[in-house]
Chain A
Amino acid sequence: MSFAGLAYVLFTVLLAIISGGVIGYYYNPKRKQKIEEPKHRMLDDDN
C-alpha cells in the first residue's frame, strides 16, 4: 500500500476512534439524566 493510501486509512481509523469515544461518553447510561436535563428545562423558559 502506498504511503498516501495508508495515510487515508489511518486518518479514517483515527476519526472513527474519536467519534466512537464521543458517542461512548455521551451515551454512557450514568450521564443520561444530566445530559438530557436541558430538553425538559427549555420547555418552561417562558416565565
Chain B
Amino acid sequence: MTPYVQGNEKSVPFDCSQENLEDDMSETSTEKYNFTIVRGFAFSALFWLVIGLIVGLWIAFEMFDPALNLTPWLSFGRLRVVHTNGLGLGFGLAAIFATSYYILQRLTRTPLPFPRLAQLHLYFFNTIIALGALSLFAGMNTTKEYAELEWPLDIGVVVLWVMFAINVFGTLIKRQEKQMYISLWYIISMTVAIAILYIVNNLEIPVTLFKSYSVYAGANDANVEWWYAHNVVGFIFTVPILAMFYYFLPKSTGLPIFSHRLSIVSFWALNFAYLWTGAHHLMLTPLPEWIQTVAIAFSIFLIAPSWGSVVNGYYTLQGNWDQMRTNYLVKFFIAGITFYGLQTIQGPLQGLRTLNAFFHYTDWVIGHVHMGTMGWVTMVISASFYYMIPRITSTELYSVKLANTHFWLILVGQFTWTITMWIAGIQQGAMWKATNPDGSLMYNFLDTVTSLYPYYKLRFAAGVIYFIGIMIFAWNLIMTVRQQPSQAEA
C-alpha cells in the first residue's frame, strides 16, 4: 500500500522502533532533562480523564432516566459542567503540560530552567482543578461555557498559566537549537492565546467570594463568551494537539514531516483566522448580523490551514503506509488526524446559516464536539503518552497488545457515540421544523425529546465501550511505570 511513492522530500526509510528504543535508553537524556514533571502531569491527566468520563457516563444516563439526579450535587445542570471542565481543563491541560514539558526540552536540547517552579506548577494545577470540580458540584457557576469557574479560581488558573509560561519562554530563550521546530510555534501561540482569551472573558465583578457578575452585558457578553469558547477549544484542543502530532508522528515513525514550509503557512493562517469565527456559535441570535457573517466567511477559510496539517500528516507517511500495520502508534496518529480533517470540514459547514438553523441546539453539535475530543484529541494524546512514558522511565511499554485493544475500543466507542448523536440531531431538528398541512406544528416539544431516548441509551452503551478502552490505556501506562528498572529512578 504505497499511494504516494513519488515525492521530492527526502524520506528516511523506516527504521524499526525497537532500534530507536535502544538509542533512547541512553542514560544521558533521562538524566539531563527533567522528566519527573512530565510523568507527574501525564498521570494527573489520566486521573482527570477517568473522573471526567465517569461523570460523563453519569450524565449520559440522566439524559434518558432522570432517576440519577439523586441530590442537588448530582443533578444534570451541575454535573455537565464538572464533565466539561474536568475533561477540558483537567485532562486536556494536564496532557498539554506533560507533552509540552517533554517536547520543549527535547526540541531545544535544553533542560527546564526552573524545575522547582514546574514541580510547584504540578501541585498547584491539581489543587485548582480539584477545587474547581468541588466548586462546580456546589453550584458556584458563572454559566459562561468552559469558563464556569468563579473568580478566585480564575485567578488561580491565571497564576498556573504564568508558572507554565515562565518555563516555556525560559527554555526557549536558553535553547541550544537555533531554529524552532513546528511544535514549538504551536506551544508559543497556545501560551499567548490562552492568556488573552481567559483573562478577557473572565473579567467579572465579585459580589462575594463565591459569586461574581460578568462585566459585559447581553449581546456583548455573548460575543465575548463565544469568541472565548470557540478559541479556547481551538487553542487547547487543536493547537497543542497539533504540536503533539507534529512532534510525535515523525518521532514514532522515523520519518521527517512532509513539509516544514506548508506547516509555516498553515500555522499563521490558522492563528489569524481562528479568532474571527466565534460568532458562528451565535447564528440567528440578536447579535449584530455583520459579526455573524464575518464569522461564517472565516470559518470556511479555516478549512485551508486545517487541511494543511491533515495533508502534512498523510504525506509524511508516503511510501511507508505499511507502518499502519507494523507500528501500533501510527494508527492512533492517522485515525486522529483523519478525525481532525472531518471535524474541520463539519465545523465550518455547521456554521452556514441554513444548516445552522437546522442543526443548532440539537445533539448533532454534541456529536461534532465528541468526534473532536474522543477521536482527534484522545487518539493523539494516547499515542503521545505511549511514546513518551516508556522513554522517560527507561523501559518498554507494558503491552502493545493492550494498546491495540485500547485503540479499537475507543475507535468503535467514539464512532458509535458520534454517529448516534448525529442521527439524533437530524431527527430532533426535523421534528422541531415539521408542520401539518394547515401550518401548525406537528410535534410538541416533549415528543421531540422522548423520541431520542433510544439514541441516548445507545450513546450510553458507546460511552461504556469507550470508557473500557480508556481504562485499558490507564492500566497499560501504570503497569509500564511499575516495571521501571530501578537504576532509572530519578
Contact = CB atoms under 8 A, between A and B. Distances in A.
Interface in A17-35: 19, 22-23, 26-27, 32, 35
Given A35-B261, A47-B29, 13 more contacts: A22-B265, A22-B268, A23-B265, A35-B264, A37-B179, A39-B181, A39-B182, A41-B181, A42-B247, A43-B251, A45-B107, A46-B26, A46-B29
B259 interface: yes
B147 to A, nearest CB: 30
Interface residues of B, number: 31
A38 B175 CA distance: 14
A38 B260 contact: yes
From A4, A26, A27, A32, residue with most partner B Cβ within 10 Å: A26
Contacts of A45: 106-107, 109, 177
> Chain A interface secondary structure, helix, strand, loop or mixed?
helix
A26 B180 CA distance: 15
A26 B264 contact: yes
Contact of B254 (A4, A32, A41, A43): A43
A15 to B, nearest CB: 8
A17 to B, nearest CB: 14
A35 B260 contact: yes
A18 B178 CA distance: 27
Closest 3 CB pairs of A and B: A39-B256, A38-B181, A26-B261
A45 B106 CA distance: 6
A41 B260 contact: no
B12 interface: yes
21 contacts: A22-B265, A22-B268, A23-B265, A26-B265, A35-B261, A36-B261, A38-B177, A38-B182, A39-B182, A39-B260, A40-B256, A41-B179, A42-B181, A42-B256, A43-B251, A45-B106, A45-B177, A46-B24, A46-B29, A47-B23, A47-B29
A32 B261 contact: yes
